[in-house]
Structure 1
Amino acid sequence: MSDLSKKIELIKKYNRKTCWIPVAQAHRAYVSFAIPGGSAIEKQLNFPAGISHFLEHLIYRQNMLSGYPLDNAGGKFGLETTREYLFIYAAFSNEQIRNIINLVESWWRHLNLSQEIITTESSIVIDEISYERQKISRILVEDLSRQLFPNSHLSVDFSGNREIISSLKKEQIVDFYQQILNIGYGVTAISDVSPWENCHEETLQTSDYLPWTPPRSMFNKNASVIQIVGKNISGSCTVVAGRVVAGRLSEDVIGSHAAHACLSFGKIHKGQIYFHDKLGLRFLYFYLYQYAEYGILFAKAECERSKLNLVKNILIDILDNPIEGSTLERIKKVTIHRLGTMIDNLQRSVVEESVNTLFGAKSLSTLLDTVYKISCLELKNYIDRAMLGSVSVIIY
């Protein structure tokens, strides 16, 4: 048995409960894989768990360059106290799945991914997490880097070892994706890896149904539930690749694209996203505002303003009650910077229209003032009630 065959068998063995569904039978197609970070299988595969996030960027970049529209490209990072997993997925409509398969095949057949692109995208990821260190908590960032890159110098200082990641060769990425493709052109459901206590291994396996919904048993009785339901937004909606945020955010995980998690993941799966406690909910919406360009501002098409008032009001509550020592002034500066970066890379008209649709602001220059001036007294009562049960956020 060749080395490649052995690797494929290892992946198959790990994903033994994966449910492969023919593309024709599914409304949405998912190409996914999972690697237990720092474990024996990862060592046998000789493939760093952290490379999955690079693949997110590569999927997005290469797909855009090739002219194939994506509904979503992203990943999910989950933690459990004794084992770590990194899930990455790419989700496409049925008519798009063959395009992405052909595209990925071309990557490893023709090796047309340049080392320059890999280095560039690696640097982007490092910059993202380095930026988190500056504005949130050094402890959280260092914990994340340890989880992403176990037994690596990166777990000591993420921003100071760029050359380690940049040295990854395109052949490594291509070879691994070839393994994934050889497993089969199918659809797989995606299961969560619980960061909560008392979670047995049975609940960590891939579920046998779509859409993805974590078992309720994975969460304690006080867990808050955010249910995000919606239909596809066509035409003027764009979603950028990013990790899905889950878990006890105050202790275990820090996510760079929470808006992507809240809106994109929820819309595509028409499912539920669970959060452990009140701080988890607060943390998510703090990022939902700060990283609005990845989710809210893009989900503008056919959105009714009345349906978004709940989201907007929750954001206001977060601004009035900043976490991790952040001040309103700092949040404002960071937000303006991120919005400015977005305008540099997208059509200004799209951004302006999104701002108007979602926040009732005529321009970006009035966006923050509009948000800050709205009263949040009623919302605070709503948040208190929401902590006792479920919260439904409807995005059409």
Structure 2
Amino acid sequence: MTESVASSVLAAPVSPPADASSSLAVPAPRLTSLSHGGGCGCKIAPGVLAELLERHVPLPAFPHLIVGPDTADDAAVYRLNDEQALIATTDFFMPIVDDPYDFGRIAATNALSDVYAMGGRPILALALVGMPISVLPHGVIAAVLRGGEDVCAEAGIPVAGGHSIDSVEPIYGLAALGLVHPQYVKRNATAQAGDVLVLGKALGVGVLSAALKKDQLDASGYAAMIATTTQLNRPGITLAMLPGVHALTDVTGFGLLGHTLELARGAQLTAHLDYAALPWLPGVEGLARAGVFTGASGRNWAAYGAEVTLDEALPVMAQTLLTDPQTSGGLLVACAAETVPEVLAVFREEGFAAASVIGEMRAGAARVVVT
């Protein structure tokens, strides 16, 4: 049963000003200082997660469950009738930025991305809130909630309730529901040999977030990070209806290599990535060369590096950048070569200027090759 998030978190709800922390008598602590990780970089490492899931008891047969946990897809999909399937997903994390309103917007955008990655249209969300009530002023917490609500309003859906707890670290996210025609459900396991890979957003969010935490991110870098992490992946709705689009996912905490490897494993194909074609957010490559990155990059590589081949001619920081955790990252599309112009046009029409062709799927063992 859902509850009123604002009333359960805040003893006396307030309407914060644009900068919720600036008007407080006692300065609020930096949100990122209250958590051991941030954004999708605080996901359980892929290797540890795989070990945990090995002990999972297989589900009995549910004939209407179109997508379950078997392929590590972005969301569950349950067939309601011949015209509708329900998409269900949840995503939450600790702060990636210090501004509470931006934190709420990023977390909500990231959660809704999984619905778009399945080809669906969101219909409602429930807020998931964990906050250190005795540490953070109520105005700060209210600003987080407002950020999430504003993104959901942009997506055309309500935050219809939720659940909250008093926790040691600040946590926020959504449980999101969406609808899609069963015919247009897109999975991450159905790429075909010869498919071209198209990425919707520029990479490097993890590097920028690490720079922010070290006070090494300037205003333009912060603006670029907020712009990409709060851009809804709405092209997924249209892309799913294109006959030439065979597989779809989004790039988040496991980095570009990790999510591309999921495509390769699901299709039992080799994914070839062109490093020179990858789009990067401004300043990311320079920061990486200077040694600015998150600990999640190393954990990601340790989990799946054995299934990746990196060309020896690649830059020294290539491994770090390719495993960089992306919070609210872009859609990764596997489509027929003749569909590429249409796919890029869909991205451009929605304002995704960084959308780029980055590789292709070829016959071979399930792995990723980067040249």
Task: Select the structure that is richer in strand.
Answer: 2
Give the TM interval when normalised to the shorter protein. Answer: 0.3 to 0.5
Give me the TM-score of the superposition, normalised by structure 1. 0.31
Give me the TM-score of the superposition, normalised by structure 2. 0.32
Higher relative contact order at CA 8 Å, sep ≥6: structure 1 or structure 2? Answer: 2
